[in-house]
């Protein structure tokens, strides 16, 4: 098979062995960039995400008046606008990043001026009504194009609200929190399913006060933020590809240093343990209330078992589901995923693409509106994979390809750079052929 510039050939591997330090968490980097860009003073971040998505956030914050400088390949210094953004001279380009568009909208809705946010073809298909509704309930004016970007915000003072999020979404929760921070009075957000809490922890790190009681978060504005220095822990959603790969090879041994272990993000470790992988977590430490530590994994000699992922667990594992589905044929009892309809409105329709690519590799799979059933005990052959330009699909099938017979060609493999530009180089370091 010949490979074009955007493609990548993956050869079957014999084992996964090594020790890696992964780039900084994408979710935390977005929030630190937004809040650092909004705060008073100069924040310094190390191990900042190297992904293109977080570069989109930094570029937007610079366009809004923050002074952003890259002080190293993964270190960033940001002098914030002290609570008042500059009306941008250009459209705010969020690239491929839903997090950027949804969360910055909350930051901008209470600011005076007109802001237009755009994104690439994939982002322009993704639902934005979910932020329009709460922000309009606060009195903001948002204009969408058929429920999607381009999105124009005519900002101005807002009023506090009580809001129950209809879909579990940390992005929507964060958007409301960032608007409420600047709005007089108490706002409360009720989330039935607990989503990642990086915004709550980051707001506190930057000096804001907010409280959580059961499923409800309350914040009273207006409050100001103050710069911080922070080291971003490694991205567990990026680690998911390596942990899943290591889980496939009896005799594997992988050590991941300084990994983010925030409990609202760590469900994958439980799932891999349930499947039979042996996982150790060492040297736990806390940085600005974010947990980090060393993760060691080795695969069970008897092979992986089975699991069903649904309900709250599906929401918490949403970014890791593609790779779990991609390794499911190599488990003993299969993996069944339900209650994950949100996968259809990510960077691609991840349910459809996972099913199509598993079938291309010779697997049997049942597709549901809200999930997939992938029986275990299957052998896959190498195939041509269509990543659909979706980073997590490209990386998930690179992992499945390690256990297939014959080579696999990943089309659109360059999309890995959205979250994890180093992915293929690091895979080369730990995959033994």
Q: Return residues touching ligand S3P (CB under 6 A).
A: 27, 30, 99, 169-171, 196, 318-319
Tell me the residue ranges of DSSP E strands in 12-66.
Answer: 15-21, 42-46
Least distance from ligand S3P to the Cβ atom of residue 191, Å: 11
Compare residues 277 and 318 and give the one whose CB is closer to ligand S3P. 318
Compare residues 122 and 408 and give the one whose CB is closer to ligand S3P. 122
DSSP letter string, 282-343: EEEEEETTEEEEEEEEEB-TT---EEEE-HHHHHHTTTTHHHHHHHGGGSSSEEEE-S-GGG
Joined tokens for residue 50: 């190297």
Compare residues 27 and 47 and give the one whose CB is closer to ligand S3P. 27
Compare residues 10 and 326 and give the one whose CB is closer to ligand S3P. 326
- Separation CA 218–CA 265 (nearest Å): 22
First to last CA, the chain: 18
| CA–centroid distance for 25 within its chain | 8
Least distance from ligand S3P to the Cβ atom of residue 169, Å: 4
Least distance from ligand S3P to the Cβ atom of residue 180, Å: 16
| Inter-residue contact 45 to 72 (CB < 8 Å) | no
- Separation CA 29–CA 54 (nearest Å): 7
Compare residues 320 and 414 and give the one whose CB is closer to ligand S3P. 320
Which residue among 7, 25, 235, 319 is the active-site one?
319
Least distance from ligand S3P to the Cβ atom of residue 97, Å: 9
Torsion region of 362: left, alpha or beta (phi above 0 gives left; psi -120 to 50 gives alpha): left
Q: Mark whether 319 is an active-site residue.
A: yes
Least distance from ligand S3P to the Cβ atom of residue 262, Å: 11
Query: Coil, strand, or helix at residue 54?
Result: helix
Omega of the bond prior to 275 within 30 degrees of 0, cis?
no
The catalytic residues are: 319
């Amino acid at each position: 098979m010949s490979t074009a510039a955007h493609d990548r050939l993956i050869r079957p591997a014999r084992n996964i062995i090594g020790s890696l330090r992964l780039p900084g968490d994408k979710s935390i980097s977005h929030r630190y960039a937004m809040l650092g860009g909004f705060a008073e003073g100069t924040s310094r971040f190390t191990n900042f995400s190297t992904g293109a998505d977080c570069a989109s956030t930094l570029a937007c914050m610079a366009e809004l008046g923050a002074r952003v400088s890259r002080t190293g390949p993964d270190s960033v210094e940001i002098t914030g606008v002290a609570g008042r953004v500059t009306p941008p001279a250009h459209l705010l380009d969020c690239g491929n990043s839903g997090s950027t568009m949804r969360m910055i909208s909350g930051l901008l809705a209470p600011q005076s001026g007109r802001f237009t946010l755009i994104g690439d073809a994939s982002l322009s298909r993704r639902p934005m009504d979910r932020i329009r509704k709460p922000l309009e309930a606060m009195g903001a004016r948002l204009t969408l194009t058929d429920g999607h970007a381009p999105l124009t915000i005519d900002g101005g003072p807002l009023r506090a609200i009580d809001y129950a999020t209809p879909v579990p979404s940390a992005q929507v929760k964060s958007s409301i929190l960032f608007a409420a921070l600047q709005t007089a009075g108490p706002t409360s957000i009720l989330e039935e399913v607990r989503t990642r809490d990086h915004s709550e922890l980051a707001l506190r790190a930057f000096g804001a006060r907010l409280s959580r009681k059961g499923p409800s978060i309350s914040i009273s504005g207006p409050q100001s933020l103050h710069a911080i220095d922070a080291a971003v822990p490694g991205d567990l959603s990026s680690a998911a590809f390596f942990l899943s790969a290591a889980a496939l090879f009896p005799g594997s041994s992988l050590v991941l240093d300084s990994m983010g272990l925030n409990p609202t993000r760590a469900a994958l470790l439980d799932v891999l343990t349930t499947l039979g992988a042996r996982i150790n977590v060492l040297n736990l430490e806390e940085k600005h209330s974010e947990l980090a530590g060393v993760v060691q994994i080795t695969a069970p000699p008897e092979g992986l078992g089975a699991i069903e992922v649904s309900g709250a667990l599906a929401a918490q594992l949403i970014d890791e589901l593609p790779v779990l589905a991609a390794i499911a044929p190599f488990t003993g009892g299969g993996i069944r995923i339900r209650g994950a309809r949100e996968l259809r409105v990510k960077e691609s329709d991840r349910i459809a693409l996972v099913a199509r690519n598993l079938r291309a590799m010779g697997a049997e799979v049942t597709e549901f509106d809200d999930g997939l059933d992938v029986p275990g005990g299957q052998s896959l052959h190498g195939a041509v994979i269509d990543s659909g330009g979706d980073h997590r699909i490209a990386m998930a099938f690179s992992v499945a390809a390690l256990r297939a017979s014959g080579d696999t060609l990943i089309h659109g493999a360059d999309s890995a750079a959205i979250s994890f530009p180093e992915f293929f180089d690091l895979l080369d370091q730990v995959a033994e052929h």
